[in-house]
Amino acid sequence: MMLAPRKIPDGHSEQTQTVVLCEENREKAPTATEVLCRARIDRLGDTIYIECDYSTSVALECSRCLKPVTLPLAGTFTIICKETATGAPRRDETEEVDFFFDGDCEELDISAALADEIMTALPLKPLCCENCPGLATADAPRENSPKSSETESVDPRWNALKKFRKI
């Protein structure tokens, strides 16, 4: 998301943008395509507070059946940006600032923070549905999978393990 810090007025303002993540940020969040962002911006002097809501859809793989699934993803994050004089020290130990920019800055790109937020919001074990049966096995074949033949022979060394299954 690109913001023009010179054009942000003092006080409250809002911006809405559809962001296409650049190649570098797509490596961080490879599943997101277009991201709709709505930023609520408050400027107090040389400090800009941004609260950004985002929504997108992500292409993932179901962790049980390994089929492709597209899931909606939405979230909110906050960024603090501060203007500094050219050549001035950038970091003060008492401040928690995410981005520094100087007075000559035409555009402020917060896409990297957006990509980081998308990556942390991705589900750890995405599912295509709550009751996903998972992969087909010999004991529980899927409806669409071919039936395993009953005549397949099992190595006799595995027969000793069958008694554990009954326990």
pLDDT in tens, 60-82: 899 999 999 988 999 999 999 88
d(CA 167, CA 162): 9
Lowest mean pLDDT, pick from 13-17, 65-69, 84-88: 84-88
Count of CB atoms within 10 A of residue 37's CB?
18
Confidence at 40, pLDDT banded by 50, 70, 90: very high
Average pLDDT, the chain: 80
- Which pLDDT value is given to residue 75? 94
Q: Is residue 148 part of a domain?
A: no
The answer to the question of residue 164 being in a domain is no
- Mean pLDDT over 88-99 rounds to 66
SS (H, E, C) 126-151: CCCCCCCCCCCCCCCCCCCCCCCCCC
- When pLDDT is averaged across residues 38-45 and rounded to a whole number, the result is 93
Which residue range forms the structural domain that includes residue 10? 2-121
Average pLDDT of the segment spanning 88-95: 57
Q: Token match 């928690």: residue?
A: 96
Share of the chain above pLDDT 90, in %: 25
Question: How many structural domains compose the chain?
Answer: 1
How confident is the model over 115-137, as a mean pLDDT? Answer: 87
Residue 151 placed within a domain: no
- Cα separation, 106 vs 102, in Å, equals 9
